[in-house]
Structure 1
Amino acid sequence: MLTRVLLRKLAKEAQEKRGSRLPSEITEIKIDTELPEAQRKQQYLEDAENPYLLRSGSIQITAVYSADGLSLSDLLADYFSRGGAQE
């Protein structure tokens, strides 16, 4: 289950482990858009391992979210409600 505590832990881990291991390749993450939104979020989190630390080819991506901005849950909900990334 996606919780604020888990997200804080993943964000901290991303900062601590930056550069220490190869993060998940974002282009290899495929989400079944036929699944309900909650299951799409869960599938993304399982495949990404850490949504705050990913890579695209040789480029490492460290995501940082603003305290007064949308939550990761809200951002993911918006992303998946629009069908995710389009190829």
Structure 2
Amino acid sequence: MLRWAESVLAVLTEAGVEGERRVVALRGLLSYVIGAIQLEHLGALSGPGTTAITELSPAEFPHMTETARDARNVGADQEFLGGLALLLDGLGV
């Protein structure tokens, strides 16, 4: 874990991220990676939970049901890399 963090900090530093912003960026990236791993193992988009959400009442959960239908077409790599790209774009890295 320390070597991973050191590598990430080197990249952030090279990108001009410093001080408290670098602390928050490191923690945000670490949280994203841990969260993505947990989601893939505990609730993958290809799993039964996504199917169950598509079967909810669209009148009561219009956004959840539509998003779950779309989610069935998102692979694990696309989910992880797409989310990571969004996070990095937000950091301006």
Q: TM-score, normalized by length of structure 1? A: 0.37
Q: TM-score, normalized by length of structure 2? A: 0.35
Rg larger for: 2
Tell me which protein shows more helix as a share of its residues: 2
Tell me which protein shows more strand as a share of its residues: 1
